[in-house]
Copies of this chain bind each other. A is one copy, B any other.
Amino acid sequence: MPKQSTLATTESVDDYLKAILELGGAEASQVTTNALAGRLGIRTPSVTGMLQKLALQRPSLVVYEKHRGVRLTAAGKRRAWELVRHHRLLELFLHDVLKYSWDEVHEEAERLEHFISERFEDRVAAILGDPEIDPHGHVIPQKYEAGVLRDEVPLARWPLGTPATISSVSDRSAAALRELERLGLMPGVALTVERRNAAGSHSIRLGAHTEPIRVSSDLAACVLVAAPVTALS
């Protein structure tokens, strides 16, 4: 059991760390001030100020290079992945135990993820049977582990005519989630992209269905796909 002294972070700091993780992508590349401001819904000077303060702290959570961007230190990554674990465990718990619909879970999880204790995290994981996937198809990181970054691509970049499976969907827009559910676009569903249309929309053939459905580019942006799994293990 490694010493994981959960260093005190505020809700704001948490949100910065998570945003840096999510924007940095698999390569954990530097994230710009602008990108953070956009994602967090605040102004760039606020971001600069916060990054400067964060970078001064010991032990530091981020490495900040003026005018260059910011990336997470090992400690920053650990906290960010912990928040992702909280978020996804909470979403699954709200969905499976408290019977929230899949478009209702995100907002509540986004708030509570900052405030639950280690014990709460552990007990929720236990009653869910140490789950691996959240209601939107996202991988739930294991405790003290950096999360898995899967080989999934946005639906808009999947080649025409090639079979795919929906790997996950974005949890950020409740309206999009309701629409996806109505159309049957949920994790695990098989599909083929038939055609791309002028306005950026896609014609999709779902699993067994015969006629394709039309999916707007905004909605398609919420869907990540991967090659179908050949055999279930």
Interface set of A (CB-CB < 8 Å, partner B): 94, 97-100, 104, 107-108, 111-112, 115-117, 119-120, 123-124, 127
Contacts and interface: CB of A to CB of B under 8 A. Distances in A.
Contact of A119 (B100, B115, B119): B100
A97 B94 CA distance: 13
B108 A117 contact: yes
A127 B96 CA distance: 12
Contact of A112 (B115, B119, B124): B115
Contacts of A119: 100, 104, 108
B98 A123 contact: yes
Contacts of A127: 97-98
Nearest to A111: B115
For A97, A98, A124, which residue has the most chain B Cβ atoms within 10 angstroms?
A98
A119 B174 CA distance: 15
B112 A116 contact: yes
A107 B97 CA distance: 23
A124 B94 CA distance: 10
B99 A123 contact: yes
22 contacts: A94-B120, A97-B97, A97-B127, A98-B120, A98-B123, A98-B124, A98-B127, A99-B123, A100-B119, A100-B123, A104-B119, A107-B117, A108-B116, A108-B117, A108-B119, A108-B120, A111-B115, A111-B117, A112-B112, A112-B115, A112-B116, A115-B115
